[in-house]
Amino acid sequence: MTPLAALGNRYLVAGAAGALAPLGLAPFGYWPATLVAMALLARLLYRHRQQSYRLSFCYGAGLYLVGASWVYVSIVNFGTLPAALAALATIAFALFVALFFALPLALLRQMPRTPLSFIAAFTALWLLGEWLRSWLLTGFPWLYAGYSLTDSLVASYAAIGGVYLLSALLAAAAAALALWGELRRPQRWAGLAASALVVLTGLGLDRVQWTQAVGSPISVALLQPDVDQAQKWSASQRSAILGALEQRSEPLWGHQIVVWPEAAVPAVAQSVPTFLARIDRRARAANTALITGIPNYQAATGRYYNSVLALGNASGLYNKTQLVPFAEIIPLQSLLGPLLAIFELPMESMSHGDRHQPLLQVGEWQLATAICYEVVYPDLVARQAADAQLLLTVSNDAWFNHTIAPHQHLQMAQLRARESAKAMIRATNNGVSALIDHRGRLLATAPQYQAASLTGWLQPRTGSTWYSRTGSLPWVVTALLICVILLWRQRRSVRH
């Protein structure tokens, strides 16, 4: 085999490994697939350090082309592009994210060349990479490796370090697996002992009661209206949609909380005051808290918000703080705006809500709210969850159509509940609507792609986990320190 062919094969293997990784996530759930994919990448990076960035880029490209393939469906179904240009836009998006995926792992070429140092560096850089992708250019915190461990024996670590710690544990295991042949026998035994200790500690953490039940369980009802996205914002359909919301909610009044999904009311709140006043009266008469997604316009500033409004036996308004890149907001608009105009991608003009907003009040309970895409941001949800007794997320996953994205989205909501040790209400337009307990387990789900309602009971809880109090900061600082120490050791060894 020629050197050029061997080089090409390396990149193909890296890309194939990235494409394999999503099989460990929802809806597939084959977590060893993610472990094997990461181990393949670790092996390639260990043997070919000078190509660290390019190999990592190929892995990232495979990861996002497969795991975020739903971007194509969103563009081709709800944009104006023909299929060929939609495919091109999807590929461009995947490659764009892959550029940032590869950045931290490129530092491996500067690290010490011993197996143990590589394992430490790979683990630390993987954690830093996921953290970087949670905020750079507004962030795209999707397809994190740790989600493959949502239902595993070590999922309890989420209460300490969130999905970042789960990803780090998986990265360490993958790197050790990749370098098993390079490790000395005592190091192998130490690795096996460490793995056993991690699992046993995880089982112990699973018994820790981070939060405490307070009061009685609350009766909750979710309405899943299944409104066609193509008709949702049509003025001619507004009356029919509002009428259906009222009619389908009639059997639900009397539950302590009734939730409509993101933008369930297809008009800004200020344009439908009569409808909202009528619903408010109906909810109060039933002693029910109604929470609905609805656009909101503030005349004083001329800004539009994607919001959640509480009516009836509840109060509060929450404006979405973390907007969807390339949908609600354009990163680097001066640079990318003209390009997106060429592709004719539909763009909304929304504003960021304040970072610190009061929690929604439902009787004596407070709800931490995340609208759609916000629930994929671990630190954002953790920060709001600390003082809440229940978690709430509303979404409109109709944009994803029949793809794997709604299941990925649900899995991330499950882990947010596990990270905060508090139950979560998840109401969506067409699925997957769900009631999730404080351990991230699905108590009930509504069928996808049809109008439905879902009822059940959730237990309010008080207190907070370590992760709710600290967020990712301790783990990011630890990973940075590991990298600094390893870089210092490498420079010192070169000098001597």
Give the active site residue among 372, 374, 422, 483: 372
Please tell me the distance from the alpha carbon of residue 366 to that of residue 380, in angstroms, as a whole number: 16
For this structure, is 483 an active site residue? no
Among residues 420, 486, 473, 451, the alpha carbon closest in space to that of 123 is found at 486
316 alpha carbon, distance to own chain's centre: 25
For this structure, is 320 an active site residue? yes
Give the active site residue among 58, 130, 262, 374: 262
For this structure, is 262 an active site residue? yes
Give the active site residue among 58, 130, 320, 374: 320
Active-site residues: which are they? 262, 320, 372
